[in-house]
């Protein structure tokens, strides 16, 4: 039997509950950007952990801010497979945030993500420069 990993079909907590109830997978890929943010990603992780279903984190072309959240999420216990998180420099000429997320080689030669001495924050000047449209909601 080929083990199935659900990815795009788990787009919210309810879909994760259904997949677990139907026993439709052996792994789940959790992408915070697809699943409704960090709170929902943690909720899906907890559901999978309780059901004995391991997870892995995937990215969706995030800036350093979003990728750092994915890195933090990947440190939870039930994330047992390598994460699909890349430095934003692979996708963008200029990141919205400082410091950028960097890929390094660990002493054993394994690729890893630079330890974050501080979390990336949006750079206001760069954000203004790259903004295409904005709105103020009152």
Q: Among all chains, which residue has been given the structure tokens 């660990």? A: 106
pLDDT band, residue 15 (cuts 50/70/90) = very high
Please classify residue 56 by burial: count the beta carbons closer than 10 Å to its beta carbon, then call 0-12 exposed, 13-18 middle and 19+ buried: buried
Q: Domains plus CATH for the chain? A: 5-130 (3.20.20.120)
Q: Tell me how far apart the alpha carbons of residues 5 and 26 are, in angstroms, rounded to a whole number.
A: 6
What whole-number percentage of the chain has pLDDT above 90? 56
In the prediction, which pLDDT does 98 show? 87
Q: What is the pLDDT of residues 74-123, one digit of tens each?
A: 989 999 988 888 888 888 888 888 887 777 777 887 766 655 667 788 99
Residues 30-85: tens digit of each pLDDT:
999 999 999 999 999 999 999 999 999 998 988 888 888 898 899 899 999 888 88
Q: What pLDDT is attached to residue 35?
A: 95
């Amino acid at each position: 039997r080929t083990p199935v990993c659900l990815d795009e079909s788990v787009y919210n907590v309810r879909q994760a509950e259904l997949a677990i109830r139907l026993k439709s997978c052996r792994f789940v890929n959790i992408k915070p950007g697809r699943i409704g943010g960090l709170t929902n990603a943690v909720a899906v992780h907890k559901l999978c952990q309780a059901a004995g279903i391991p997870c892995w984190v995937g990215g969706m072309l995030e800036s350093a801010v979003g990728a750092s959240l994915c890195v933090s999420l990947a440190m939870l216990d039930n994330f047992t497979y390598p994460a699909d998180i890349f430095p934003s420099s692979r996708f963008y000429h200029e990141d919205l945030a400082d410091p950028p997320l960097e890929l390094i080689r660990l002493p054993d030669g394994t690729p890893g993500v630079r330890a974050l001495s501080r979390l990336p924050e949006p750079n206001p000047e760069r954000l203004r420069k790259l903004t295409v449209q904005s709105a103020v909601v009152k």
